Chains A and B, each alone.
Chain A
Amino acid sequence: MESMIFDLATTPLRELNQFLHHEAKTGAVEKVVVLNPDGAHNIAVGLDCPVEVEVKGHAGYYAGGMNKTGSVIIRGSAGTGVAENMMSGKVHVKGFASNGAGASAHGGLLVIDGDAGLRCGISLKGGDIVVGGSVGSFSAFMAQAGRMVICGDAGDALGDSLYEAVIYVRGKIKSLGADTHIEPMSEDDLAAVADLLAQAGMEHAPSEFKRIASKRELYHWNADANQEY
């Protein structure tokens, strides 16, 4: 079917979300367009079906939060926690994203065309994030699993306390976080970066990226090792 339009200037957010949680699941609508978001928070949170949501403007906090199988595109910027805890599906921010983008995401793909704020990918648990611009400090803090591709620069303390998530950075890194280091790019890494960039619609040579991974020295308490805690 065609698309359904919700104008947040006149319709309460609750109606949009309820529609997305219930009526949209029947498959009657393929696409939902959201007009005049004007920085409203919690747009399209908890999507639970493969519906397309197009947000025409700037979104507030947690846009597309806890997304499962849905596909959200934001034609503007996104506030704190865009696609936080996403399980699967896709969220695409055409503008910039604020802090905590993709926080704790377990799966799916988050694409940010512009820059991302601090703590991008914090606590990542298996999702993929591709940032066309640069990311702020403390990005990938305690990231446990998943992949991040940063086409621009990274701020301070990148990947501090990293677990098994892997970060690929093309630009400059202001500083690495505790227990991270740069490792050589393997064939698998190059292929992974190529695939993620293609999914994000960005063009860069994978060979320009560096691989950042955990040194795994903080995995166990060790008094003699002078660990940073």
Chain B
Amino acid sequence: METKPEQLKHISREESAGYDHKTQDYIRNAAAHGLYEIRGLGAKRKLPNFDDLVFLGASLSRYPLEGYREKCVTKTLLGTRFAKKPIELEIPITIAGMSFGSLSAHVKESLGRAASELGTSTTTGDGGMTQEERLSSKTLVYQCLPSRYGFNPDDVRRADAIEVVIGQGAKPGGGGMLLGQKVSSRVAKMRALPEGIDQRSACRHPDWTGPDDLAIKIHELREMTDWEKPIYVKVGATRTFHDVKLAVHAGADVIVVDGMQGGTAATQTCFIEHVGIPTLAALRQAVEALEDLNMKGTVQLIVSGGIRTGADVAKALAMGADAVAIGQGVLVALGCNSESYIQNGQHLSAEKDYAALGTAPGFCHHCHTGKCPVGITTQDAILEQRLQPEIGAKRLRNYLKTLNMELTTIARACGKQNVHHLEREDLVALTVEAAAMARLPLAGTDWVPGMAGY
């Protein structure tokens, strides 16, 4: 009698590293839609970052400061090069530019309130200045972008500083984007666009190209404001060493460098993940450029793109930044990717709304849809109510306070009375990539890859 072969119960599941699930989904989406994927937030892939650096705290060779009793100064001055009225901040942690349009008006107000309480600044974003933000934010940085949406001289005069934006970390070389569902009547009016269209911004400024002409544009802004306000120049991190030098030559008071981890409310995924360099590498290049020109201390440096914790802030300062700007972290503090929201004093679940977007709390990056389940990146009148300014302001205030406390704790532990005294020799790296990018020695060794010929 013939015996039947045994049925194999084993299901073969050999995954491809190159054609993994994510890649297969991407290809199927492209085949289905014929259009690139657009999403919000920043680079999600794993990158060398500040987590790969650690501090050398005090011990026998260095002496620490007592927490709480021995002061640690966090005051930060920005824009000392040419401006008559530099910006004075209480903490070196600022709020990055995020537009009204990508965010709701409530959120802009929350940002302003929290920033004012902590003595720091907010930044307008690619959509112009709203009344809510100017009234709630004590120190407001007004962006001048390629699109010039809502840009007008009255707001220039009302601003505390002006930031000429050349690019941002999420999409260096690209312009802004706001999909039709978020181009509400108010947003449309501010941006001089028809309501409901898919807004595509220019990627170059309309009236200047190149650092030689930027110098004249910066001059115009100075002449406009009688040389009172600091002029910032913001670049997305790519050829950072050259860009920072050119920004200095063009006359910037402050330079903002935004690494590839920096977020956006909407852009092509291919941009977010594949254009730009990590903040860690960019920061080192920026500091080198300033030192090369002997401008450290004269031109200030703000770094952004994946600054999440007090430790990140401390490391950024130690590497040579004068301040940091936070975007995504601020949104998460407000409730981005949270399971629930508060309305009328009650905690309500947002899970269904995440599910409707095809995602779940903790995984969402659908800012571009305007259907933010927690009411942050939306123009929808109903969704907007899910984040009340008082609650948003309180959460953000707490977050910024925590960051600042962690910053001073670390600084004291390294023996510093002033957070700006943190220096790169206080840091070592845990991986070879981070050591090479940050030009810091691998922990426990003298080895900085690339230096001394090996």
Q: Chain A residues in contact with chain B, CB under 8 A?
A: 13-14, 17-18, 21, 41-42, 45-46, 48, 60-62, 65-66, 68, 80-81, 84-85, 87, 99-100, 103-104, 106, 119, 122-123, 125-126, 141-142, 144-145, 161, 163-164, 219-221, 223-224
* Contact indicator A223/B34 (Cβ below 8 Å): yes
* Contact indicator A81/B208 (Cβ below 8 Å): yes
* Contact indicator B148/A42 (Cβ below 8 Å): no
* Contact indicator A104/B197 (Cβ below 8 Å): no
* Contact indicator A87/B153 (Cβ below 8 Å): yes
Q: Which residue of A lies closest to B222 (CB)?
A: A42
In the assembled complex, the CB of A152 is this many whole angstroms from the nearest CB of chain B, namely 22
In the assembled complex, the CB of A150 is this many whole angstroms from the nearest CB of chain B, namely 18
Sampled A-B contacts (15; CB under 8 Å)? A17-B226, A42-B223, A46-B156, A61-B220, A80-B207, A85-B152, A87-B153, A103-B148, A106-B152, A142-B202, A164-B194, A220-B197, A221-B179, A221-B198, A224-B34
Beyond A46-B223, A61-B216, 17 additional pairs, beta carbon < 8 A: A18-B226, A41-B216, A42-B224, A45-B223, A61-B217, A62-B207, A66-B156, A66-B220, A66-B224, A68-B154, A81-B220, A100-B206, A106-B192, A123-B148, A163-B193, A223-B33, A223-B34
* Contact indicator A14/B223 (Cβ below 8 Å): yes
**Residue with the greatest number of chain B CB neighbours at <10 A, chosen from A85, A161, A164:** A85
Interface size of B in residues (CB-CB distance below 8 Å): 34
Q: Is B291 an interface residue (CB 8 A)?
A: no
* Contact indicator A100/B194 (Cβ below 8 Å): no
5 closest cross-chain pairs (CB), A and B: A223-B34, A46-B224, A81-B207, A66-B153, A100-B207
* Contact indicator A80/B213 (Cβ below 8 Å): yes
* Contact indicator A104/B207 (Cβ below 8 Å): yes
* Contact indicator A62/B35 (Cβ below 8 Å): no
* Contact indicator B202/A123 (Cβ below 8 Å): yes
Query: In the assembled complex, which residues on chain A have CB atoms less than 8 Å from the CB atom of B157?
Result: 46, 48
**Residue with the greatest number of chain B CB neighbours at <10 A, chosen from A48, A61, A119:** A61
**Residue with the greatest number of chain A CB neighbours at <10 A, chosen from B152, B192, B217, B226:** B192
In the bound assembly, the distance between CA atoms of A119 and B202 in angstroms comes to 13
In the bound assembly, the distance between CA atoms of A164 and B188 in angstroms comes to 12
In the bound assembly, the distance between CA atoms of A84 and B194 in angstroms comes to 22
* Contact indicator B152/A21 (Cβ below 8 Å): no
In the bound assembly, the distance between CA atoms of A166 and B225 in angstroms comes to 33
In the assembled complex, the CB of A51 is this many whole angstroms from the nearest CB of chain B, namely 15
In the bound assembly, the distance between CA atoms of A163 and B147 in angstroms comes to 13
Contact with A along B196-228 (1 / 0, CB 8 A): 011010100011100001001101100111110
Interface of B is mostly: loop
Tell whether A46 pairs with B153 under 8 Å between CB atoms, given A84-B207, A100-B207, A221-B198.
Answer: yes
In the bound assembly, the distance between CA atoms of A125 and B194 in angstroms comes to 11
Query: In the assembled complex, which residues on chain A have CB atoms less than 8 Å from the CB atom of B35?
Result: 221, 223
In the assembled complex, the CB of A136 is this many whole angstroms from the nearest CB of chain B, namely 14
In the bound assembly, the distance between CA atoms of A35 and B353 in angstroms comes to 65
In the bound assembly, the distance between CA atoms of A17 and B224 in angstroms comes to 8
Q: Which residue of B lies closest to A62 (CB)?
A: B220
**Residue with the greatest number of chain B CB neighbours at <10 A, chosen from A103, A145, A219:** A219
In the assembled complex, the CB of B356 is this many whole angstroms from the nearest CB of chain A, namely 21
* Contact indicator A68/B153 (Cβ below 8 Å): yes
* Contact indicator A84/B156 (Cβ below 8 Å): no
Query: In the assembled complex, which residues on chain A have CB atoms less than 8 Å from the CB atom of B147?
Result: 123
* Contact indicator B206/A84 (Cβ below 8 Å): yes
Q: Is B180 an interface residue (CB 8 A)?
A: yes
Query: In the assembled complex, which residues on chain A have CB atoms less than 8 Å from the CB atom of B216?
Result: 41-42, 60-62, 80
In the bound assembly, the distance between CA atoms of A219 and B183 in angstroms comes to 12
In the bound assembly, the distance between CA atoms of A68 and B148 in angstroms comes to 16
Q: Which residue of B lies closest to A126 (CB)?
A: B192
In the bound assembly, the distance between CA atoms of A42 and B207 in angstroms comes to 13
In the assembled complex, the CB of B382 is this many whole angstroms from the nearest CB of chain A, namely 23
In the assembled complex, the CB of A18 is this many whole angstroms from the nearest CB of chain B, namely 5
In the assembled complex, the CB of B128 is this many whole angstroms from the nearest CB of chain A, namely 11
Q: Which residue of B lies closest to A60 (CB)?
A: B216
* Contact indicator A85/B153 (Cβ below 8 Å): yes
Query: In the assembled complex, which residues on chain B have CB atoms less than 8 Å from the CB atom of A62?
Result: 207, 216-217, 220
Query: In the assembled complex, which residues on chain A have CB atoms less than 8 Å from the CB atom of B34?
Result: 223-224
Contact with A along B9-50 (1 / 0, CB 8 A): 000000000000000000000000111000000000000000
In the bound assembly, the distance between CA atoms of A163 and B225 in angstroms comes to 31
In the assembled complex, the CB of B227 is this many whole angstroms from the nearest CB of chain A, namely 7
Query: In the assembled complex, which residues on chain A have CB atoms less than 8 Å from the CB atom of B447?
Result: none
Query: In the assembled complex, which residues on chain B have CB atoms less than 8 Å from the CB atom of A99?
Result: 207
In the bound assembly, the distance between CA atoms of A84 and B198 in angstroms comes to 25
Q: Is B241 an interface residue (CB 8 A)?
A: no
Query: In the assembled complex, which residues on chain B have CB atoms less than 8 Å from the CB atom of A103?
Result: 148, 206-207
> Which residue of B148, B180, B224, B226 is within 8 Å of A104 (Cβ)?
B148
Q: Is B151 an interface residue (CB 8 A)?
A: yes
> Which residue of A61, A106, A123, A145 is within 8 Å of B206 (Cβ)?
A123
Query: In the assembled complex, which residues on chain A have CB atoms less than 8 Å from the CB atom of B151?
Result: 85, 104
Q: Which residue of B lies closest to A99 (CB)?
A: B207
In the bound assembly, the distance between CA atoms of A42 and B224 in angstroms comes to 8
In the assembled complex, the CB of B173 is this many whole angstroms from the nearest CB of chain A, namely 15
Query: In the assembled complex, which residues on chain A have CB atoms less than 8 Å from the CB atom of B225?
Result: 46
* Contact indicator A45/B220 (Cβ below 8 Å): yes
Contact with A along B137-161 (1 / 0, CB 8 A): 0000000000110011110110000
> Which residue of B148, B193, B198 is within 8 Å of A85 (Cβ)?
B148
Q: Which residue of B lies closest to A146 (CB)?
A: B192
In the bound assembly, the distance between CA atoms of A104 and B151 in angstroms comes to 9
Query: In the assembled complex, which residues on chain B have CB atoms less than 8 Å from the CB atom of A219?
Result: 180, 194, 197-198
